[in-house]
Structure 1
Amino acid sequence: MEVKKAVIPVAGLGTRFLPATKSMPKEMLPIIDKPVIHYVVEEAIASGIDDIIFVTGRSKRSIEDYFDDSPELEHHLKQKNQQNLLKIVQDISSMVDLHYVRQKEPKGLGDAILTAHKHINDEPFAVLLGDDIIVNKTPCTKQLIDNFYKYGRSTLAVEEVPHEKTGSYGIIKGVPLDDSLYILEDIIEKPEPANAPSNIGAIGRYVFTPEILDCIKETTIGVGNEIQLTDGIRLLNSKQKIYAYKFTGKRYDTGDKTEYVKAIIDFALDKEDMKEHIKEHINTYALKHKDKK
């Protein structure tokens, strides 16, 4: 079956960006002139997805508003004859079929995905986390879908992570098939470095067979007193083969303050009307502070 549906969980509280996220979803933090979630949706569409289910929470209404029509703004832009901006605004509201389901309380990624189960309809589906931006000519999700079509099994996106940061990822143990593909043996949620089976971590992109939903239902409360997707993956792995794919591309974890700033700088340097000004600013700052520790 084709992978045409994607679940994007956006119900998290965004505590790492408080106080900004007290009134603004972390997924709506801007990278120059587009919010993070816009890039995630663009990746899904470029990967062949035409049906997206957002799993939201109480404070996420602005995400729905962002992807909705904006008659007042469109009228204003028409009056001002700002056709380029008008097209941008109109394109946002017609990008793809969008649906919204609410996770009543933040009980973990596994629970968030399970919230969308009625919309999945026993079909394979992708999961894209709302705070990872991945830049590559072939979208990361498309790379996973291609592997799914080849092997017919769930596939996780993975990359090497610093050994001291294994406690922030689901870390895999796998049998290498080639330089970029593993058969999953096990995955451990946020292990301490001394207990990590490798430094290969799962990041925020997945393609699942629908059986993952039944496996999540069977799991109990896990790490962090939450229903962990990792536990569902482990159970699914006991029933059918799962692959881990070392994707190609540059990932920005915009849920991390430093990575968020790096993303802004890199995206600014990629814009023709900004890059020279940003380079000049960086060089000036570096010269001014070169002798300071």
Structure 2
Amino acid sequence: MTKVHKAVIPVAGLGTRFLPATKAMPKEMLPIIDRPVIQYVVEEAIASGIDDLIFITGRSKRAIEDYFDDSPELEMHLRDHHKNEMLKVVQDVSSLVDIHYIRQKEPRGLGDAVLRAEKHIGDEPFAVLLGDDIIVNGVPCTRQLIDTFNHTHGSVIAVNEVPPEKVSSYGIIKGHPIGPSLYQIEDLVEKPRLEDAPSRIGAMGRYIFTPEIFECLKSVQPGVGGEIQLTDAIKILCQRQSVYAFQFSGKRYDTGDRLGYVEAIIDFALSHEEIGEQVMEYLQIVLNQKNVQTSNPVYDDNNKPILRS
């Protein structure tokens, strides 16, 4: 059986939920404290045994290429000023793994982005990691999927249960359990209404595919906006071979969502070895102030509460 050692990371999306910031900056480069989101995704892939990465980029994503490239001027400056720890950090970023870039000339959906990687992937199984999802766990989510693939020999989708109000934001699986945290997929419904959903088990931005997914993508008819949906290709794949869903362990942050992004910043700041305690103290001060304001509000002439510092 061929080892999974290649991964596709689609980063060509426009990031409209973070406008105007993403007008000049890829959403995947938004910082979580002192690292961009995309670095956490790359580090998960590497920790899972991936040694060959393919970024599917767009014309506004040059900053991602620059970030993972060498920076001779910066390195020289740090070396000359004896900032050796920071120099190592910068050099480590540019030497993490082999990275290749393929341009998606127009945003035609996630399925089209994955299809762009066909020539590089060839006839091997491969991983797909969405570039704005961070998943934290001792055993990386992608590693969990690879282990499941090695057991099932079929494509595997990372899933987790979603709250009722979020069902319409996910691809929801219909399947039957065949082992601990493992389902065989019968169908996949993209963003259904809660009353139409076959379950509350949703796809979570991590996949292992057999190369047959490419033929399925080629047979998908473009939908709204001419986009090729990955979900539609997975449904076709389910008709040709067994496809599985694995309920992974770990905490997921959807950093493409503003609330998810803020949650990631807070949690990573609290666990930061240098600033964690100070952040906790600050949050306690803020919460105490909010409690005082709520219990003893002061109003202006228009009967609106005045927030006191």
Corresponding position of 1:257: 258
Q: Distance in 2 between matches of 1:221 and 1:116?
A: 18
Unaligned runs of 5+ in 1: none
Q: How far off is 1:164 after superposition?
A: 1.7
CA distance in structure 1 between the partners assigned to 2:273 and 2:235 by the alignment:
46
Map 1:93-112; keep pairs closer than 5 Å: 93-112=94-113
1:195 alignment partner in structure 2: 196
Q: What is the match of residue 45 of structure 2?
A: 44
Instruction: Structure 2: give runs of 5+ residues left out of the alignment.
Output: 295-309
Report the secondary structure of 1:177's partner residue: strand
Match of 1:170 in 2: 171
Instruction: Give the secondary-structure state (helix, strand or coil) at the position aligned to 2:208.
Output: strand
Residue 232 of structure 2 corresponds to which residue in structure 1?
A: 231
| Alignment partner of 1:129 is 2:137 | no
Amino acid at match of 2:125: P
Runs of 4 or more, structure 1, over 6 Å off, are none
CA distance in 2 between partners of 1:203 and 1:265 (Å): 21
Q: Which amino acid aligns with 2:45?
A: A
Pairwise CA distance, 1:178? 2.8
Shift of 1:83: 0.6
Deviation of 1:291 (Å): 4.4
- DSSP 3-state at the match of 2:240: coil
Corresponding residue of 1:92: 93
Q: Is the 8 A contact 1:189 1:223 kept in 2?
A: no
How big is each residue's C-alpha offset from its partner over 1:209-233, in whole Å with a ceiling of 9 and x where there is no partner?
0000100000102356521000000
Alpha-carbon shift at residue 202 of structure 1 (Å) = 0.2
RMSD: 1.0
For residues 136-175 of structure 1, the aligned pairs below 5 Å read 136-175=137-176
The aligned counterpart of 2:15 is 14
TM-score, normalised relative to structure 1:
0.98
Letter in 2 for 1:121: G
The alignment covers a number of residue pairs equal to: 293
Alignment of 1:65-80 (within 5 A): 65-80=66-81
The separation in 2 between residues aligned to 1:291 and 1:160, in whole angstroms, is 37
Query: Which stretch of the first structure deviates more once superposed, 59-68 or 175-184?
Result: 175-184
TM-score, scaled relative to structure 2: 0.93
Check conservation: 1:156, 1:243, Cα contact below 8 A. yes
Give the structure 1 partner of residue 62 of structure 2: 61
2:82 aligned residue: 81
1:168 deviates by 1.2
1:242 and 2:243 correspond: yes
Q: Deviations over 1:126-176 (max 9, x none)?
A: 000000000000000000000001111000000011112112111001101
**Higher Cα Rg, which structure:** 2
| C-alpha separation in 1, matches of 2:102 and 2:3 | 23
